[in-house]
Structure 1
């Protein structure tokens, strides 16, 4: 892979490496984002973060918030599948945001990107709730994959407060053990949600957990994937690798 962009700051080496048309963002050797200009599917953890949007009717997910944009891997599939009326993405790391805007060039006019702390931003937010919140807050300086924000009761309550009455919350954990040890794995803490799902893939150890306000079933997601021309083709060819299990 050729290095096409590189920055170093505060002991963190940021690189974008390209192989063919595929580009990957690394920080201290840990991959944080991936982008292909002609494909929605990466075959890895980034697919798990947008797939839960298909658990419910995508037409109802009009307002989308991404906490932890990274290089912006999620933006093209969310735009293609949901065509949201509003898309906001918050990213703490200026270099990641620069990659999303200038190297991957995934941000389009009308889509709002914010350089700042996602926790502080959401705690201060006083606008309409979001129909889909994707929380993907990982520390860019770590040489191992780990959450930057504990999934404790206070943070979970903040997230819940800003999800609409029919909305979906997606959270990324380093592995299933981390999820189970957190308050997000506590049924009493998460009692406001009707359905819970775990998404995983062979390419990573991450456990992506989706919570829906309305009752949902994994078969609805699969049918929507199968009915989409590009996603259905990727699924049949084994390029869209995901496993989903309902936790209720």
Structure 2
């Protein structure tokens, strides 16, 4: 592994390391993003964040919001699979945005990026709802993988208010216990949602939870992955590594 980019900012050491053709973004030694210029999948937690878009008909997900862009790992698969009409990303960390724009080079004219606090931005937002919200808020100062924003009632309600009638909400938790102990795991969090799923993979402890407005089943996601020409080969060779189960 070679170091190709490094900066210090506000007590945090940011590095981008290259592993063969893979680029990895670290903050204080904790990996925050991974980018494969030649393929859509990472084989790790970042795949779990966009996979729920395949729970329903991807063409319905026209407006996409990413809260916590990091280095922008999610942007290429979202573009390829959804072709969204509107793509907005909010990121508090200016160095993450620098990596996404200058190192990973995933920010283009087809998306809007906002440097700022995702919680404040969403609570102030007055525009039309989003069909897909991916919430992936982890602090660069942390030396362990834990959420930067508590998944309490206020935050879950704020997220839910901005998801459309056909939409999907995806939330990333450091592990299943963190999800289990949050408001998002309770029955009250299911108000307005038809289905809830947990996604996981073998090489990380994260628990990614997806809420769907429309009734959905995990078999539908698996089928769409198998039938998609850009994804099926990754499943066959084991590079798209995921497990999904319904929680309600």
TM-score, scaled to structure 1? 0.99
| 1:175 to 2:164 alignment | no
Partner-residue secondary structure (3-state), 1:238: coil
1:1-248 equivalent positions in 2, closer than 5 A: 1-248=1-248
In 2, the alpha carbon distance for the partners of 1:168 and 1:230 equals 22
CA offsets, 1:116-165, max 9 Å, x none? 00000000100000000000000111110010000011011110000001
In 1, the alpha carbon distance for the partners of 2:190 and 2:115 equals 29
CA offsets, 1:4-45, max 9 Å, x none? 110012221100001222100000110000001110000000
- CA apart distance, 1:211: 0.1
In 1, the alpha carbon distance for the partners of 2:9 and 2:71 equals 17
In 2, the alpha carbon distance for the partners of 1:61 and 1:10 equals 37
- CA apart distance, 1:51: 0.2
Partner-residue secondary structure (3-state), 1:229: coil
In 2, the alpha carbon distance for the partners of 1:194 and 1:130 equals 17
In 2, the alpha carbon distance for the partners of 1:104 and 1:209 equals 26
In 2, the alpha carbon distance for the partners of 1:60 and 1:189 equals 23
Partner-residue secondary structure (3-state), 1:166: strand
Partner-residue secondary structure (3-state), 2:155: helix
- CA apart distance, 1:189: 2.8
- CA apart distance, 1:110: 2.1
RMSD over equivalenced CA pairs, Å: 0.7
In 2, the alpha carbon distance for the partners of 1:133 and 1:203 equals 24
Structure 2 unpaired stretches of 5+: none
Partner-residue secondary structure (3-state), 1:71: coil
Structure 1 unpaired stretches of 5+: none
Q: Structure 1 runs of 4+ off > 2 angstroms?
A: none
Count how many residue pairs are aligned between Structure 1 and Structure 2. Answer: 248
In 1, the alpha carbon distance for the partners of 2:54 and 2:90 equals 22
CA offsets, 1:63-96, max 9 Å, x none? 0000000000000000000000000000000000
